[in-house]
Every structure is written in C-alpha cells, then in structure tokens.
Amino acid sequence: QPVILMSLNPSENDYLFLSIISFFFFILLAIPALFFSLKTWQANFHGNQRKAQINSRLALGFSISSILVGSIMIICSI
C-alpha cells in the first residue's frame, strides 16, 4: 500500500508569557494581548493556521505596545 506523508505546519507562537508580563506595565493594552494569545492557542489546537497567525501578530503587537506605553509612563513619572 502506498503511504502518504503530509508535513504539519509548525504552530504559531501564542506569546502567553509576554502578554502576562505586559500586565505589569499597562493593563489596558495587556487585556487584549492576553485575549489574542488565548485565541492563538485555541486556533493552533483546532489546526486553523490562518487565524493562529493573525491572532499571534495581534497578541505580540498588544504586548509590545503595553510594555512600551507602560515604560514611557514610568519614565515620565520619575
């Protein structure tokens, strides 16, 4: 019998740890970061590569924005 091999696409990063760390900087942007991080995990679990990529980028963007805004606010308050 012929054997068919299919390569599995690697799962997208969910940036869960980064979105949790971003809660210490600016919570208003960290909440959507955590939301999209969990949506990325869910899309990876169900094998939906396209949604996982979109949610992964959004989670990373919100996490970085939270850290940047929080850092700027901390620096300006000194």
User: Is 60 among the domain residues?
Assistant: yes
Q: Which residues contact 68 (CB under 8 A, 6 or more apart)?
A: none
User: Is 11 among the domain residues?
Assistant: no
User: Is 7 among the domain residues?
Assistant: no
Is pLDDT of 7 > 70?
A: no
Read off the pLDDT band of 3 (50, 70, 90).
Answer: confident
Is pLDDT of 5 > 80?
A: no
40 exposure class (CB count in 10 Å sphere: 0-12, 13-18, 19+): buried
pLDDT in tens, 8-66: 778 899 999 999 999 999 999 999 999 999 999 999 999 899 999 999 999 999 999 99
User: Is 4 among the domain residues?
Assistant: no
User: Is 5 among the domain residues?
Assistant: no
* HEC assignment per residue over the chain: CCCCCCCCCCCCCCCHHHHHHHHHCCHHHHHHHHHHHHHHHHHHHHCCHHHHHHHHHHHHHHHHHHHHHHHHHHHHHC
The confidence score (pLDDT) of residue 29 equals 96
User: Is 53 among the domain residues?
Assistant: yes
User: Is 3 among the domain residues?
Assistant: no
State the pTM of this model: 0.85
**Domain extent for 23:** 16-77
Q: How many domains does the chain have?
A: 1
